[in-house]
Structure 1
Amino acid sequence: MPARGRTDALPPQVLLLVGIISVQFGAAFANTLFAEVGPAGVVLMRLVFASLVLLALTRPRLAGRSRRDLLAVAGFGLVLACMNWSFYESLNRLPLGPAVTVEFIGPLAVAIAGSRRLLDLLWVALAGGGVALLALGGSQGGLNPFGLLLAALAGALWAAYILLSQRVGSSSAGLDGLALALALGALVMVPAGVAQGGSELLRPGVLLGGLGVAVLSTLVPYSLELIALRRLAAAAFGLLMSLEPAVAAMAGVLVLDQQLMLRTAVAIVMVVVASAGTTIDASRSAAQRGSAGSRPDSRPDSQAPLLG
């Protein structure tokens, strides 16, 4: 995990951008391991390595936790495992940019859920149009329909992950809850990971690749995000997070040599603009509530650790 002193000297926007780039290039790197151990095998290695590091750093205890807290951690771990598995299975069938774009509908839905603002209907329509554009391309042979469905499932699980992360975070100190959830998620993935990866999971080169995915996709982005959020306004955080689908498309082009079709590029822009518009609109509403006497949150409810 990054050294605290050095990262604190950097602007929080830079830290968050590095985290976003790390998680998306980590996903691209994970794609290169699918042929050897399958998506489930890569997820298993990622969760095992990430949990081992966090367990060693946090040394969480189960004693003293209520049954409700333990159930929340268990649900968090199960959702985390299924979210990553469905996302990696979608990556095995789709280019990285479209997969992340469809998945991004999950956190966007959480951001808009419960809102009664008329303007939010515009953002919903714009994002929905972007996803529909991708799906239309898939039905015409451009994108795998089952891959799109898996990405949508990952998005729905991301939404559940966001809600559960808030519950676990409020009842756990530091990264304790995440460490326990990652460990449970790793256990959940053992059957599928071993079935797909087999003996290849024990090869040194594959293990090293799995460690690299864990570092790029979990440890580095999450730690950088935590540091950045201490000094970054909620609106700026949301706007930078909106760049994820575009960064994912760039990673797919640079690492996996994937082509970016015009239809796909337009769809990605539509979702990015919808996410950015939602963030700006929400920040203005929060500022108005703050001026009326209520204190806006320092962290946007629609965002969660960069573990997609």
Structure 2
Amino acid sequence: MTSPTRPTTGAIWMVLASIASVQVGAAVAKNLFGVVPPVTMAWLRLAAAAVALLLLSAFARVRTRRDARRHQELSAAPLSARSWPAGLAYAACLVGMNVSIYEAFARLPLGLAVTLEFLGPLGLAVLGSRRALDVMWALLALAGVALLGFTPTGLDPLGVFFAILAGALWAGYIVTAARAGRTWPGMDALTLACTIGAVVLAVPALHQGGAEIWRADVLLAGAGVGLLSSVIPHSLEMAALKSIPPRVFGILMSIEPAAAALAALVLLGERLSPTDLVAMGCVIVASIGATRSA
């Protein structure tokens, strides 16, 4: 049996595959912003993820019913009174985070948007610590953000706002996911969140998307983004966390900005200036340092 304190090579590769999947999905989504707006793309992602997760959930329940004893055990443990508030808070953060980061992607290079978004979980890690060293990591991250102000092409202020908002919602997502995970079994909380997002965003998404939303390539890309950015990475992360310590998981996740920049370079042709790369490096190093310290 694998020790939970010694990460396996397989678990590490699962996390890396999860990161790659998310960023490839982000690049595919951004490539369609000229056809449909970010809100519509976020809706397609959540709707596709909701359908996939509901099908997986139904399949799991069918298998569970084959074992009558196991079925009785599950039936004897209904959701508690705290389940719905925790699940709804988790859904609000997840949906808001998706819409905000897509609005940022539409206005900023992918790598820089993810770098700014990363300030959310980094800030959460620093706030949860009382070590003086973590103040240094926070200052390093802020120095990186300050460097972005010197980027040659300048940054869209609204894009910066949406990226930082996505980061704040990401921090909220981390907190609410822990609470929802204690009261919702399996991936039910994620299924609930994606379903709520698909319902809530349907009207604005359909209104803004117009007739273009029903194009075959748009629907296919939306389904792909839902799988790449939600279903596949969440499944891989859940499997990896069974044999990898949260600290190591956090350190691996710190390479997200670099992965986003690489995906944008390969799939979208987005190039970052040396200043942008240094700023991104500051945030990545600060994230790794804060995670190791925690």
What is the TM-score with the length of structure 1 in the denominator? 0.84
Superposed, 1:70-219 pairs within 5 Å as: 70-134=84-148, 136-137=149-150, 141-219=153-231
Tell me, in whole angstroms, the C-alpha distance in 1 between the residues paired with 2:132 and 2:124.
Answer: 16
Q: Deviations over 1:31-85 (max 9, x none)?
A: 0111111111111010001011111222499x94345321222222222111111
Tell me, in whole angstroms, the C-alpha distance in 1 between the residues paired with 2:92 and 2:207.
Answer: 18
Tell me, in whole angstroms, the C-alpha distance in 1 between the residues paired with 2:235 and 2:78.
Answer: 26
Q: Is the 8 A contact 1:55 1:180 kept in 2?
A: no
Tell me, in whole angstroms, the C-alpha distance in 2 between the residues paired with 1:71 and 1:199.
Answer: 36
Tell me, in whole angstroms, the C-alpha distance in 2 between the residues paired with 1:55 and 1:197.
Answer: 25
Q: Cα distance, 1:89 vs. partner?
A: 0.5
Q: Is the 8 A contact 2:14 2:236 kept in 1?
A: yes
SS in 2 for 1:37: coil
Tell me, in whole angstroms, the C-alpha distance in 2 between the residues paired with 1:66 and 1:184.
Answer: 20
Is 1:255 equivalent to 2:267 in the alignment?
Answer: yes
Tell me, in whole angstroms, the C-alpha distance in 2 between the residues paired with 1:167 and 1:199.
Answer: 40
Partner of 2:83: 69
Partner of 1:301: none
Is 1:242 equivalent to 2:254 in the alignment?
Answer: yes
Partner of 2:14: 15
Aligned residue type for 2:191: A
Identical-residue share of aligned pairs (%): 45
Judging changes above 3 Å, is the alpha-carbon distance between structure 1 residues 235 and 77 closer, same or farther for their aligned structure 2 residues?
A: closer
Q: Cα distance, 1:165 vs. partner?
A: 0.6
Q: Is the 8 A contact 1:102 1:131 kept in 2?
A: yes
Partner of 2:71: none
Q: Is the 8 A contact 1:100 1:244 kept in 2?
A: yes
Partner of 2:5: none
Tell me, in whole angstroms, the C-alpha distance in 1 between the residues paired with 2:205 and 2:93.
Answer: 16
Is 1:281 equivalent to 2:293 in the alignment?
Answer: yes
Tell me, in whole angstroms, the C-alpha distance in 1 between the residues paired with 2:134 and 2:280.
Answer: 18
Q: Is the 8 A contact 1:87 1:151 kept in 2?
A: yes
SS in 1 for 2:150: helix
SS in 2 for 1:36: coil
What is the TM-score with the length of structure 2 in the denominator? 0.88
Tell me, in whole angstroms, the C-alpha distance in 1 between the residues paired with 2:82 and 2:10.
Answer: 38
Report the RMSD for the aligned CA atoms in angstroms. 1.8
Tell me, in whole angstroms, the C-alpha distance in 2 between the residues paired with 1:173 and 1:67.
Answer: 14
Partner of 2:70: none
Is 1:224 equivalent to 2:236 in the alignment?
Answer: yes
Aligned residue type for 1:106: G
Q: Is the 8 A contact 1:137 1:143 kept in 2?
A: no
Q: Cα distance, 1:142 vs. partner?
A: 1.9
Q: Deviations over 1:114-168 (max 9, x none)?
A: 321100000000011111221x136x74221111111000000111111111111
Aligned residue type for 1:213: V
Partner of 1:292: none
Judging changes above 3 Å, is the alpha-carbon distance between structure 1 residues 229 and 66 closer, same or farther for their aligned structure 2 residues?
A: closer
Greater shift in the superposed pair: 269-278 or 219-228: 219-228
- Structure 2 residues without counterparts, runs of 5 or longer: 1-7, 62-73
Divergent runs of 4+, >6 A: none
Tell me, in whole angstroms, the C-alpha distance in 2 between the residues paired with 1:12 and 1:42.
Answer: 30
- Structure number with greater CO (CA < 8 Å, separation at least 6) is 2
- Structure 1 residues without counterparts, runs of 5 or longer: 1-8, 283-308
Q: Is the 8 A contact 2:80 2:183 kept in 1?
A: no
Superposed, 1:4-43 pairs within 5 Å as: 11-43=10-42
